[in-house]
Amino acid sequence: MRSLRHRHWHTSVRISGPENITCVTTLLSTARECSASLLVNKKTFCIEMARWEVYRGPGGPVSMNIEDLAGVEAYLGSGAALRRSLSGCGAAEALPLLAESVRGIIQAETFLFRERGFKDSQSYDEYWKTMYANSCRYYSNLDRVTTRWEEHIGGQERFGTLYNKFKAVSVSEDGGILHAEASMSDSFHEVGIDARLDKKIGTLTTAHCRLLRGPDQVCFETAEFSSNLLGKRLAGLTKKEVAAALAGNNGCVHIIDTWHDLALVLGEIYQEIGL
């Protein structure tokens, strides 16, 4: 078996002062090493500073502040503002890492509910039930949920670091078969994927997925949807297409993201070999 490509991501959200938190997402791959960071106000989540750095790979070295992101709220619905701010600054390729950083900040909010204006963890929990209703397996099946979010994270204490997330994709080849593994492990969830593909045409012949950690049993039911990807050419699928195959709003966003990460890496490989 011969290794073809590795890609690793790490996102970390830390308290960086009395009024601020910092999120840094780093990408380390066979082809590139770069990072995107956000300094935000812990009460408003408004961006005070955004930075993009390329250490190795295409377009590097780069070290620059993204001035147009100042004042943008790092929260749900910020995607359009991120794209507008990056379009003319020469750092458009920073978008996936900045979006990952925003997701990290949203996850870290669970330990900043008082700073965000909630009187207690129960009121914060109720806010999310309304805000995120019908958006994923958990929030689409609240009538079946037996573990509240505050119970899932109960007992955790956070000091300097509020949130961590690691992702990885590894692809190898053995004859005409591609072997691929993808994983995601963060402070609240854990996903593992094992896939096999016909190298020549790129279609999935094996699609195993397991959710190792999640907030409730209903979340674990979503792993079985991965079989819906069998026979598909994963490298050519958009994230929306991956989500649709994995039950959309009734699936797990973390499983969807992990399959899409694998799709992106496979796309790079097939672009290189011209298939």
Instruction: Give per-residue pLDDT as tens, 97-148.
Output: 999 999 999 999 999 999 999 999 999 999 999 998 999 999 999 999 999 9
Q: At residue 275, does pLDDT exceed 80?
A: no
The string of DSSP codes covering 222-274 is GGGGGGGGTTSBGGG--HHHHHHHTTGGGS-HHHHHHHHHHHHHHHHHHHHHT
- Residue 10 pLDDT > 90, yes or no? yes
Distance CA 251, CA 220 (A): 10
Is residue 60 over pLDDT 70?
Answer: yes
Q: Is 189 exposed, middle or buried (0-12, 13-18, 19+ CB in 10 A)?
A: buried
Q: Which domains does the chain have, with CATH numbers?
A: 2-110 (3.30.390), 170-273 (3.30.390)
pLDDT at 38 over 80: yes
**pTM value?**
0.94
The amino acid sitting at 43 is K
Residue 61 — very low, low, confident or very high, per pLDDT cuts 50/70/90? very high
Q: In what order do the strands lie in the sheet with 20-29?
A: 62-65, 47-56, 33-41, 20-29, 2-15, 161-174, 177-186, 190-198, 204-213
